[in-house]
Amino acid sequence: MQVQADAERRSSPRVEVQEGIFAHITSGAMGRVRDVSEGGLALEYLAKIGSSLGKTTLYLFGSGGRSYLVDAPVRMVSDIEIPRETTFSPLMLRRMGIAFGDLTRAQKSRLYVLIRKSSTI
C-alpha cells in the first residue's frame, strides 16, 4: 500500500532510461540513472560505507559523450542501500531518489529531450 501512496505523490510519471545514461553529483556520487521524470530521477551508485550527500548540483550525460544537464540544482529525497551479495567489500550499491531544483529554461528543454527519447524505447 505504501508503494502506491509514494507513486501518487509524483506530479509526473518516471520513465525508465536506456543503458548508458549517467549522473555525477558534485558532492561525490556518480552512477547509472535508472529512471527520470520532469521532477527528478533515480540513481544507482557505489558508495563507501559512511558517505553522505547533501544539497548539490548534478551533471547528466550519456556514454557517447552527450551532455543532457549541466550544473542542475538537486536535492536528495531518498538514499537506500541495495543488499550486497558479499559482506567483504567496503563498497555498497545504493539507490538515490533525487529531486530537481529550479531548472533554467535550457536545462528543462534538455531534460525533456532525454524523457522523450527514453519514453520511445
Residue 46, beta-bridge partner list? 93
Residue carrying C-alpha cell 531544483: 101
For 62-120, the pLDDT digits (tens) are: 988 889 999 999 998 988 988 877 667 667 789 999 999 999 999 999 999 988 888 76
> Do 117 and 66 touch, CB atoms closer than 8 A?
no
C-alpha cell at 75: 536535492
Distance, CA of 45 to CA of 24 (rounded, Å): 10
Q: Tell me, yes or no, if the pTM score tops 0.85.
A: no
Higher pLDDT pick, 51 / 120? 120
| C-alpha grid cell, residue 90 | 567496503
11-23 confidence digits (pLDDT tens) = 678 899 877 899 9
Predicted confidence band of residue 4 (pLDDT cuts 50, 70, 90): very low
In the chain, the domains with their CATH numbers are 2-116 (2.40.10.220)
Spell out the residues 6+ positions from residue 107 whose beta carbon is closer than 8 angstroms to its own.
Answer: 69, 70, 72
Q: Estimate to the nearest angstrom the gap between the alpha carbon of 40 and the chain centroid.
A: 7
Question: What gap in Å lies between CA 36 and CA 55, rounded to an integer?
Answer: 19
